[in-house]
Amino acid sequence: MGFQYISLDEAIERAGLRMVVVGDIPSPWGEAAKGILHIKRIGWAAVRLSYDDPRIKEWAGQRSGPVAILDREPPRSGWADILMLAERLAPEPSLLPADPGERALMFGLAHEICGEGGLGWSRRLQLIDAGLRGEGGFPQPAAGYLARKYGYRPETAASADRRVAHLLRLLSGRLQRQLDAGRPYYLGDGVTALDVYSATFMAMFAPLSEDVCRMERWNRRALETLDEATSAAIDPILIAHRDMMYEKHLELPLAL
């Protein structure tokens, strides 16, 4: 299910579902939201996040991505709010487990990937820290901007490293138990939003190849920055699961 990029003016004017997305880099929150809409075959129009037009903040309520806006409803920027909006617009196929216990587990694990202090958040702090030290990661100006915006403090860099390694192991442990039981997905027998989050957040560790995910050299270099402990915590089954998800459920090439 493809989507079209439109101008901010057009997006503000038109009805339906529009989503502000970060350009030039496979932002995992944005790629997850795109993936959910794709699986559910929900039509939408994309607006690239711009840093020079004040109206984006007025319209979307913030200058970050993704922000999903349906008709005149309030903007939704949280991963769970975007997921629930998609479930409302297209209940089938559902990306939530039918079993209530598994559903609660899914939201818990998804929070550990997408939420504040989760895998994506902690990985971003790692890449900011590396950038500020001049050891890979985000280029200096971007690292400085993100540091101020996302609560970076040098003294928390070590705890971000630990969080990243723990969470990668939490995910691969669960996936391994499922694989041992002959199940390729994180929960039960079918694909859920958790599979989408895991697959898209791997972009922060091992981005997809240039032929399906074109981006500037420095962005790729940033995302590929790995210290030894993080590298050791990336079980190849996480990448194999990512590849399976892109092959069977998500769209390639990425349209950034």
Ligand X SMILES: N[C@@H](CCC(=O)N[C@@H](CS)C(=O)NCC(=O)O)C(=O)O
Closest approach of ligand X to the CB of residue 22, in Å: 5
Three-state SS at 172? helix
For residue 5, list its beta bridge partners.
46
Of 117 and 190, nearer to ligand X (C-beta) is: 117
Closest approach of ligand X to the CB of residue 219, in Å: 11
Alpha-carbon distance of 234 to 1, in angstroms, equals: 30
Of 41 and 145, nearer to ligand X (C-beta) is: 145
* Residue of this chain nearest to ligand X (CB atom): 64
Closest approach of ligand X to the CB of residue 78, in Å: 5
Of 3 and 79, nearer to ligand X (C-beta) is: 79
Could you tell me the CA-to-CA distances from 251 to 187, 190, 193, 245 in Å, in that order?
A: 22, 18, 15, 9
Token pair of 110 as six digits: 């998804």
**14: amino acid identity, one letter:** R
Residues with Cβ within 8 Å of 236's Cβ and at least 6 positions away in sequence, in order, are none
Of 64 and 122, nearer to ligand X (C-beta) is: 64
For residue 67, list its beta bridge partners.
20
Of 136 and 188, nearer to ligand X (C-beta) is: 136
Residue pair 247/231 in contact (Cβ under 8 Å)? The answer is: no
Length of the chain: 256
Of 149 and 153, nearer to ligand X (C-beta) is: 149
Closest approach of ligand X to the CB of residue 77, in Å: 4
Closest approach of ligand X to the CB of residue 232, in Å: 25
Alpha-carbon distance of 244 to 102, in angstroms, equals: 22
Closest approach of ligand X to the CB of residue 9, in Å: 21
Give the interface with ligand X as residue ranges (CB under 6 A): 22, 27, 29, 64-65, 77-79, 114, 149
Q: Which of 78, 89, 88 is nearest to 118 (CA)?
A: 78
Three-state SS at 70? strand
Of 116 and 135, nearer to ligand X (C-beta) is: 116
Alpha-carbon distance of 181 to 168, in angstroms, equals: 20
Closest approach of ligand X to the CB of residue 65, in Å: 4
